[in-house]
A = this chain, B = another copy of it.
């Protein structure tokens, strides 16, 4: 999932004083320079001291800026040698991975969604565990079909924790982004997420909704979202038609957000 070009720093809910954070400013400028081709892939960046002098900042601040870019996979570093440019595009992580709508709009696709059902029922064992609620506690089970440019590409089965159930039930049937609505109207913001990605054959319901044959390959992303206090919001099972979506991760020996598991994890 390649990122569009949305400045991360300006998303830092800091009211109007955008850009007041030095290391974000520096990181954005470097990112722009890299993506603009000023430092092509393989090139060496200026030294930290150079950058510090150029920006009238301390070396620590510069280090935080370049660490941001390193975490994005844009640059690499080795002790003693100057940093090198590894890639020219930036990928985003959290919001794009957590919100189908945000990702789709970011890459310029027309997204539409429809709730096919919203019912309250006791949680399954897995749902209870993922949402950290008692087994059998009430959850809101949602079935949703999502389209990209008119084509059905994803079936979403989500269990919402009871404390956000009313909010989700209040949403319009064709609401494009539940997480956006929760954040805007209810102050419920997803802050942490965990995602499990695997492949599986389409079941009969999947096949009917996506217009495929049973057994067709689907890419499945199961994920749990939690708010800033770590309280689980939703546990979701999203199934994409093969070929419609690719997940992308970059890592280095120093940092990696992604891991691999056997079978059902």
C-alpha gap A247/B257 in the complex (Å): 11
Q: List 10 contacting pairs A-B, 8 Å CB cutoff, sorted by A.
A: A1-B260, A23-B261, A42-B230, A58-B265, A71-B256, A103-B260, A109-B262, A194-B248, A198-B245, A199-B218
**Which one of B76, B201, B247 lies within 8 Å of A228 (CB-CB)?**
B76
Decide: B244 and A41 in contact? CB cutoff 8 A. no
**Which one of B41, B71, B201, B257 lies within 8 Å of A242 (CB-CB)?**
B201
Q: Which of chain B's residues have a CB closer than 8 A to the CB of A59? A: 264-265
Which A residues have a C-beta under 8 Å from some C-beta of B?
1, 8-9, 12, 23-24, 41-42, 58-61, 63-64, 66-68, 70-73, 76, 78, 84-87, 91-98, 103, 107, 109, 132, 148, 189-201, 215-219, 226, 228-230, 240, 242-265
Within the complex, the shortest CB–CB distance from A246 to chain B, in Å, comes to 4
Q: Check A263/B249 contact, CB under 8 A, given A93-B255, A255-B68, A258-B67.
A: no
